[in-house]
Amino acid sequence: MKIVFIPQYEMTPDRKLAIADLLSICFEGFPPHRHYYRQLAHFYWVLEPKNGSTSTTQEISPEPEPLPQILGCVSGILRNIRINSIVIPTLGILDVCVHPTIRNQKWASKLLQTVEDFARVHAIPLLVLFADNSSLYQNNGFEPRKALVRWQMIDEIRQISGSVDERRMDDCFMLKMLEPCMKFTEDPLAVDLLGWIF
């Protein structure tokens, strides 16, 4: 198995389809045939079998090359957000999923570690995500925090007029600070996502 990094602008139609298939298997009600929920992410980390799409049968068969098989995926949004009065470049993490056949083998943890390595290399100081179940993330060093969160609401095709929503998210807002000197002691945190929610 290998983890492949794909920026959105290099996403191929085959990979979009394979990610969309995985997302609809892993998340009930995920919009069909989409490799994103509401908006395009900037980055994807996908788990592919090592010999994924390198079929050697291509030379002897007129059949099209099979879709690359994607067995795990995490996407990322690069954005400034504000916490209290500080604006911080942040990697928002979303759509974390692993195919049911290979769960509980630490593949999601390896994907999260790869995302974190990327953020460290690119000096992005903060990882943020929203999760109903925190166990995977707490195992990987994320911290659940009480937060009052503001974001811009969008529906499928349009921004909702006048709709900056603001809600307490005490059970699902999680962060991981990669700069040791950065500390937020306030409780709850005032978090402005400066855009749509990821």
Ligand X SMILES: CC(C)(COP(=O)(O)OP(=O)(O)OC[C@H]1O[C@@H](n2cnc3c(N)ncnc32)[C@H](O)[C@@H]1OP(=O)(O)O)[C@@H](O)C(=O)NCCC(=O)NCCS
131 interacts with ligand X by CB under 6 A: yes
Whole-number minimum distance, CB 37 to ligand X, in Å?
11
Q: Is 135 in the site for ligand X (CB under 6 A)?
A: yes
According to CB under 6 A, which one of 96, 126, 147, 169 is a site residue for ligand X? 96
Contact of 167 with 190, CB cutoff 8 Å: no
Letters for 22-41 (x = contact with ligand X by CB under 6 A, - = none) are ----xx--------------
Judged by CB under 6 A, does residue 173 bind ligand X? Answer: no
197 near ligand X (CB under 6 A) = no
Residues near 26 by beta carbon (within 8 Å), at least 6 away in sequence: 97, 98, 99, 100
In sequence order, the 6+-apart residues with CB closer than 8 A to the CB of 104 are none
For the chain, count helices (H), then strands (E).
Answer: 3, 10
User: What are 28's two structure tokens?
Assistant: 């009930």
- Residue ranges in contact with ligand X by CB under 6 A: 26-27, 96-98, 103-109, 131, 133, 135-136, 139
